[in-house]
Structure 1
Amino acid sequence: MGCSDEHASLAADVLLQADLRGIDSHGVARLIGYVRLWESKRINTNPKITIVHETPTTATVDGDAGLGLVVAPFAMRLAIQKAGQYGSGWVSVRNSNHFGIAGYHSLLAVEKEMIGIAMTNASPLVAPTYSNERLLGTNPMCYAFPAGKYPPVVVDMATSAAANGKLEIAQRAGKPVPEGWIQDAKGNYTTDPHALKSGGSLLPLGSDKEHGSHKGFGLSAVVDIFSAVLSGANYGPWVPPFVAFLQPPADPVGLGIGHFVGAMRVDGFRPVDEFKIHMDNWIGRFKSASTIDPDQKVIIPGEPELEAAKERKTKGIPLVDAVVADLNGLAKRFGIEEL
């Protein structure tokens, strides 16, 4: 596509880490989407990423319409640098694109024994509580905490009932989705993974008011405000769609998609060793919790992804036929050996 070797390698790493961690919706399956956005001139493969506003502990970055897979790590490294000097660093991003899994960026801070935070707004597919209008994205957020003998605790989640990528997985597999993920254009529950194409919408985390969808709506709003209202990116229904054949809104309120990342030095609060001891104690206590079913155990956030990575590093990463077909199509497009 014309990316530098550095940017291409970084983007590939973000996608591969998603696949290794079992987050198939955000791995190489997404590659064709980025190519299509580039072909429609909505992704700049040689961006001049700049800092447009800055204080000792904060900054706003303009991604110059670059790959979010490249822009977000730039922002997180800037946040880490500021945290190293001042205890914490906070960076908002405008004029970017889809940034892959939020966990990748948060874990960059954990590598430096810091707490990492990453979030992004996204294409409007989610209706707020009581509405059937798509006004918010799946708007994921991630918090990552270092530990000692245990792996980091990584809370990486969409603020919708399900990530859009899970619908795409169901579409490729020809399977229905659970009730409570989507509503049709009239606001009725549906299990059709294609419902978004006929005017339906994803539901906020909680699905409906009786089950706490107002909380999911609230979390999504926080992500949108931090990522876009704060940075100067598009927010709410003005966020450009990830699908290349759909044009961005004609009346944008900002530039591109927005992200928000942060890093906090643990030793800004207590000695790192003490923190890790108590993180291990916290993890150990929850892992030993009594369970309703003796065959089940409490799952610490981040554990499923870690187990997937261990297995896939040994057995390989499974690809569904539809993704293989997409990759082979791209191989032909760019003159690369097919799978």
Structure 2
Amino acid sequence: MEMIRIDKKQLLSFCVKTFEACGVKTADAQDCADVLVAADARGIPSHGVARLQRYINGLQEGLMDPVIEPEVIRETPVSLLVDARGALGAPVSCQTMQSVLDKAEQSGMAFGAVRNSNHYGIAGYYAMKALEKDMIGISMTNTAALGVPTYGKQVMFGTNPIAFAAPADKEKAFVLDMSTTVVTRGKIEIYDREHRSLEPGWAVDKDGLSVSNPGPLLEDMFHRRGGGIVPLGGDSESSGGHKGFGLAMMVDILTGVLSGSAWGADIYDKGESSARVSHCFGAMKIDLFMDALEFRRNMDKMLQDIRNMTPAEGHEQVYFAGQKEFEAETHSLAEGIPLAENVYQTLRKIGVELSVPFS
């Protein structure tokens, strides 16, 4: 598919202005824009500016509050619980992760949880904030219920992504950013926009049978008629699907249950409100365990060992988690951020509607 490349600064500026046009204060608009654009720059279009229309709809319909201030419910030197109160997910997540990093700087490690929030973008964005501080970062969120348990046919958990970031020295960092389902809803939406059939083993219909048409699946999931995405590992125990299901439940425990919020099938989009999701963030200082420079150099060796492996026949290289995304980001900065034609046209339409020019 031919892609249209847009300068990163131009795309960021447009997104900031569209959020501001919807009543979002500048600092929060910058957080929202940065998270969305970072996804496209890193080659994750399912969570990029293609979601801008959904954010604008949520703000205009009152499903997301652009001005409400999150409330700290509990706090200790090593922990934080925040009630987002329906605010945009990215700003409250940036603020909470920063608090976690500040606490970890003083205490060695810290965790924070956020409840009653909204979509926060790519999980890896927040985990990576720990890298520049010689810390290991963790980020996860539950989502609207879209995943079907192993041998089930009704959604009972979200795509529930997990991100883990560990710094290296001369190598790029190790950044694992993965859903606990085979694919995300965002990818299903991409296939729907591009009129493509889903890959076998990605999702099941309301009878528990493999489904290939993304449109009806998205409708059935939204209206909770049955069917959904299968867990990481596939639709059976023999393929390891029960492991992905277990990881999804772990995320629900650390985000929804631990924060005193909803989890599982109780998280869903409704006509009058969007799904209220929860997040969890963590950070730990490497020098609690060993010299940080020694750790980074050891990480270099580990990552180099992976990069230098002889690949299987028919493949050019073995990649470690985050490597492809860093390469995509480098290319995006040099050549412009790639956008699909339909996404580009949607942004132009948004610009006309909000009087924010987009070339």
TM-score range, shorter chain: over 0.9
Question: Contact 2:89–2:119 at 8 Å: present in 1 too?
Answer: yes
Q: Residue 248 of structure 1: CA displacement?
A: 4.9
Alignment match, 2:123? 102
Q: Residue 274 of structure 1: CA displacement?
A: 1.0
What CA RMSD, in Å, does the superposition of the two structures yield over aligned residues? 1.6
Q: Residue 338 of structure 1: CA displacement?
A: 3.9
Seq. identity, %: 37
Query: Which deviates more from structure 2 when the two are superposed, residues 215-224 or residues 35-44?
Result: 35-44
Residue from 143, 146, 150 that aligns with 2:164: 143
1:227 aligned to 2:255?
Answer: yes
Q: 1:73-84 alignment to 2 at 5 Å?
A: 73-84=94-105
Provide Cα deviations, 1:243-265, integer angstroms capped at 9, x if missing partner: xx63459xxxxx92100000110
Q: 1:95-244 alignment to 2 at 5 Å?
A: 95-194=116-215, 195-198=217-220, 199=225, 200-209=227-236, 210-241=238-269
Q: Residue 103 of structure 1: CA displacement?
A: 0.8
Residue from 231, 240, 260 that aligns with 2:280: 260
Question: Contact 1:239–1:248 at 8 Å: present in 2 too?
Answer: no
- Cα pair distance change 1:17/1:128, threshold 3 Å: same
Provide Cα deviations, 1:98-150, integer angstroms capped at 9, x if missing partner: 00000110011112111000000001111111111111110000000000010
Q: 1:295-314 alignment to 2 at 5 Å?
A: 295-314=315-334
Mapped to 2, the partners of 1:318 and 1:206 lie a distance apart of 30
Q: 1:31-70 alignment to 2 at 5 Å?
A: 31-70=52-91
Mapped to 2, the partners of 1:47 and 1:117 lie a distance apart of 26
Provide Cα deviations, 1:136-171, integer angstroms capped at 9, x if missing partner: 110000000000010110000000010111111111
Q: Residue 336 of structure 1: CA displacement?
A: 1.4
Mapped to 1, the partners of 2:49 and 2:314 lie a distance apart of 37
* One-letter identity of the residue aligned with 1:65: G
Higher relative contact order (CA 8 A, sep 6+): 2
Mapped to 1, the partners of 2:92 and 2:39 lie a distance apart of 17
Q: Residue 95 of structure 1: CA displacement?
A: 1.3
* One-letter identity of the residue aligned with 2:162: M
Mapped to 2, the partners of 1:100 and 1:76 lie a distance apart of 14
Question: Contact 2:233–2:242 at 8 Å: present in 1 too?
Answer: yes
What SS does structure 2 have at the residue aligned with 1:156? Answer: strand
Mapped to 2, the partners of 1:333 and 1:135 lie a distance apart of 37
* One-letter identity of the residue aligned with 2:233: G
Q: 1:253-332 alignment to 2 at 5 Å?
A: 256-293=276-313, 295-332=315-352
TM-score w.r.t. the length of structure 1 is: 0.94
Which runs of 5 or more structure 1 residues have no equivalent in the other structure?
250-254
* One-letter identity of the residue aligned with 2:186: G
Mapped to 2, the partners of 1:81 and 1:282 lie a distance apart of 29
Question: Contact 2:141–2:279 at 8 Å: present in 1 too?
Answer: yes
Question: Contact 2:63–2:272 at 8 Å: present in 1 too?
Answer: no
Mapped to 2, the partners of 1:6 and 1:291 lie a distance apart of 45
Mapped to 1, the partners of 2:90 and 2:201 lie a distance apart of 30
Q: Residue 326 of structure 1: CA displacement?
A: 2.3
Question: Contact 2:89–2:120 at 8 Å: present in 1 too?
Answer: yes
* One-letter identity of the residue aligned with 2:354: F
Residue from 242, 246, 260 that aligns with 2:271: 246
Question: Contact 2:124–2:177 at 8 Å: present in 1 too?
Answer: yes
Provide Cα deviations, 1:47-81, integer angstroms capped at 9, x if missing partner: 21221101211110111211111111111101101
Q: Residue 294 of structure 1: CA displacement?
A: 6.6
What SS does structure 2 have at the residue aligned with 1:52? Answer: strand
Mapped to 2, the partners of 1:122 and 1:256 lie a distance apart of 8
TM-score w.r.t. the length of structure 2 is: 0.89
What SS does structure 1 have at the residue aligned with 2:214? Answer: coil
* One-letter identity of the residue aligned with 1:96: S
Q: Residue 295 of structure 1: CA displacement?
A: 4.2
What SS does structure 2 have at the residue aligned with 1:43? Answer: coil
- Cα pair distance change 1:138/1:295, threshold 3 Å: closer
Alignment match, 1:252? none
Alignment match, 2:355? 335
Mapped to 1, the partners of 2:43 and 2:148 lie a distance apart of 27
Which runs of 5 or more structure 2 residues have no equivalent in the other structure?
1-21
User: Would you say how many aligned residue pairs link Structure 1 and Structure 2?
Assistant: 331
* One-letter identity of the residue aligned with 1:146: P
Mapped to 2, the partners of 1:240 and 1:187 lie a distance apart of 20
